[in-house]
Amino acid sequence: MNNKLKGMQLFIRTLVVATTLAAAVGACSNEGDPVPSQSEQSTPDNKEGTPVVAEQPTGQLTDEEAQSLEQIATEDAEKYMVALKREDAEALSRLMAHAENENVPETMKVVIEGFRLHFDNLADLKLSLKSNQQTEEYFIENFILTGMRDGEERAIPFQVKYAKKGGIAALLSGDTREPLYDSPYIGQYPYAVRDAGRYVQALIQKDVDSAALHLGLDESKKEVRAAVQQMLQVYAEKLDLSAAKIIPLGYDAANKQFLFDLQDGKKRVHSIQLGADTFHIQDNWATVKAVPEDSAANDFALSVNDSAITLKAWDYDVNLDKILGAPLSSQVEQLGEGADTSTGSFMKRMKYDGLQLELFSPKNNGKHFWIMTMEITKEGYQTSRGIELGHTVKAITDAYPAIQIAPDGRTDPNNCAYEVKDEDQGSFLKLEVKEGVVSGIKIYHLIP
């Protein structure tokens, strides 16, 4: 491999790492607990680390500080919304000038293009505060942008965050405040467009190494190189890449993918996708697929009809009606004073044949909900590792080698509960076993 190709490979790998880290705190991700905003919950979440704030060494904000932060974040978000609704690339560039990424007006035009793919009319967009959270470096306020597309309401995450280095007082003063904005179309879409173009160039040049790298594959393996060469042959037979146009189709929130069509001069079309978290191309003409780097992240999910339903996913990110069909019943309840910090929040309970879901929505929202509990009472629903009702203890331990008996006092391995947990995230998977077989499955999140 020559030096130029090695340099390209290092650059792309560096970009993937950087964008993945950005996505971990960005909009297109569900990292950390979904925490109701201060107007929705009195105690901010502190699961992602112990933030250090000059005035509050424990990382906790006072109620007054948290409410003030929500107010200034809303004001800053509205400034971005004004520029976005006007499709003013110059104004967006000025608002993003202090960010690390290149946010020149030309890049902001691509951002606007992305939002226009998602919504019919940017002037009609609405902004609502969803939740807040903290990391070691940032205060983060999470919003939802809603609008219409082809007669249906659509939503997408939008985030405003502030560096903690100056302390909360500096943020509240406003003189040195530098809000950072993020959403799939802000922090990821411009790079997705660029990488889709680079992938097509690699195909045109029959560059096996570069194409494999874009697909997230190890180009040093013989079977990978053979599969990519076979894919290039399929392209040669089915699509004229020299005359192909790359047509962006938008963002698929449920699968966290950017969608593109490749169309040649004969109007032949082939679709590809680009993962918003990995920046790997997904191309069904490639017979070898990239292996996810972190399968453990999916332990708190169900597999239903070849689709995943993940704990803490928002209802605008997963199409429950498409996956499960219409529920047998659905009820929404506003929680009363006995719910402690969740008082005033909303709980939606949905019942299906053999499956019950509980979804949570913060106070002053009540419109969008995230999945809090999934409980299985009938065969046909599997965990992400293939366990369902009726499976044996051996099947459990084969699928989850590190699983433990839940500490509820029961010790008989054939009559107890087995548990997988991530206490930092408040996520739990419990497999109830009776007479050696699985009799119940529950995946749930505990709000601190």
Task: Answer yes or no: is pLDDT of 116 > 50.
Answer: yes
CATH of 29-182 given 3.30.70, 3.40.50, 2.40.30, 3.10.450: 3.10.450
Position 215, amino acid: L
In this prediction, residue 169 carries a pLDDT of 79
Task: Count CB atoms within 10 A of the CB of residue 23.
Answer: 22
Q: Which of 307, 369, 306, 398 is nearest to 40 (CA)?
A: 369
Mean pLDDT of the chain: 83
Position 23, amino acid: A
Distance CA 255, CA 157 (A): 14
Structure tokens at 245: 């146009």
| Half-sphere exposure of residue 189: CA atoms within 13 angstroms, side-chain side | 27
Distance CA 378, CA 328 (A): 15
- On whether the CB atoms of residues 182 and 27 are closer than 8 A, the answer is yes
In this prediction, residue 174 carries a pLDDT of 67
Q: Residue 289 — pLDDT band, cuts 50, 70, 90?
A: low
In this prediction, residue 351 carries a pLDDT of 96
Q: Which residues pair with 181 in a beta bridge?
A: 160
Position 177, amino acid: R
Structure tokens at 87: 């499709």
Average pLDDT estimate for 135-158: 92
Biggest CA pair distance of the chain: 69
Average pLDDT estimate for 311-317: 85
Q: Which of 38, 104, 29, 42 is nearest to 73 (CA)?
A: 38
Distance CA 422, CA 395 (A): 21
Task: Answer yes or no: is pLDDT of 42 > 80.
Answer: no
Q: Looking at residue 36, what DSSP letter applies?
A: B
Residue spans of the domains in the chain: they are 29-182, 190-282, 296-445
In this prediction, residue 22 carries a pLDDT of 39
Structure tokens at 7: 């340099």
Task: Answer yes or no: is pLDDT of 5 > 50.
Answer: no
Residues 243-248: contacts with CB under 8 Å, at least 24 apart: 244/200, 246/193, 246/196, 246/197, 246/200, 248/113, 248/114, 248/117, 248/193, 248/196
Helix (H, G, I), strand (E, B) or coil at 92: helix
The more confidently predicted of residues 45 and 430 is 430
Structure tokens at 119: 């919504």
Position 192, amino acid: A
Average pLDDT estimate for 166-192: 86
